[in-house]
A = this chain, B = another copy of it.
Amino acid sequence: MTGGYLKGRIRREDIITTAVAVYAEAGYHGSSLREIARRVGITHAGLLYYFPTKESLLAAVLERRDAEDTERERLAVPPGREALAHLVALAEHNVRHPGIVDVYARLAAEAVAADHPAHDYFERHYRMAREYATASFRVLAARGELRAGVDPEHAGLNLVALMDGLQVQWLSDGTAVDLVGALRFYLQDLLTVPLD
């Protein structure tokens, strides 16, 4: 009777995917379980059968993102020039999928509040992103591929901040902001060798 389990797993994934879309439109606090459930085609009480609280659904959304990110980035490419090039590729991917960008830009801003249920997640997320970026610049510096005077720590922090900030402006007005071009310019300007 694994059929029952399979159906439940598919339904759970369906709910998470729908939640991502609704969070993108309304933020976490602005989203309702009833709206998410309606799009899935069940009642909000039915949704609570799968996720017992609103917060537990948010946790599941963030866990999925972590799983995807870990698979795509951290394990796939060690810190270095290639990792930075991959980051540009990720930005290109995101530009073609605005929904993904939207959710995390909104959640990150909501979660600066210390009592937000996703606060710890984003604090950890940012710390790891900074360390990964900084490590990449250190590798470049050791190979003499980093322009003289560039501090890996500052460059790493600024890279993560830049990606976030570009996303907000690009979401606000996509026609006025060349997200990928600006990111590529920032990175190439720091290197003494071609980025890719």
Residues of chain A having any CB pair with chain B under 8 Å: 25-27, 29-30, 102, 105-106, 108-113, 119, 122-123, 126-127, 130, 149-151, 154, 157-158, 160-166, 168-169, 171-173, 176-178, 181-182, 185-186, 189
**A122-B26 Cα distance, complex, nearest whole Å:** 17
**Is A110 in contact with B106, judged by CB distance below 8 angstroms?**
yes
Which of B150, B172, B185 lies in contact with A158, CB distance below 8 A? B185
Main secondary structure of the interface of A (DSSP, over half): helix
**Is A108 in contact with B168, judged by CB distance below 8 angstroms?**
yes
Q: How far is the CB of A174 from the nearest CB of chain B, in Å?
A: 10
Which of B27, B123, B169 lies in contact with A110, CB distance below 8 A? B27
With known contacts A30-B29, A189-B150, A161–B182 Cβ distance under 8 A: yes
**A108-B25 Cα distance, complex, nearest whole Å:** 14
Which of B27, B102, B109 lies in contact with A168, CB distance below 8 A? B109
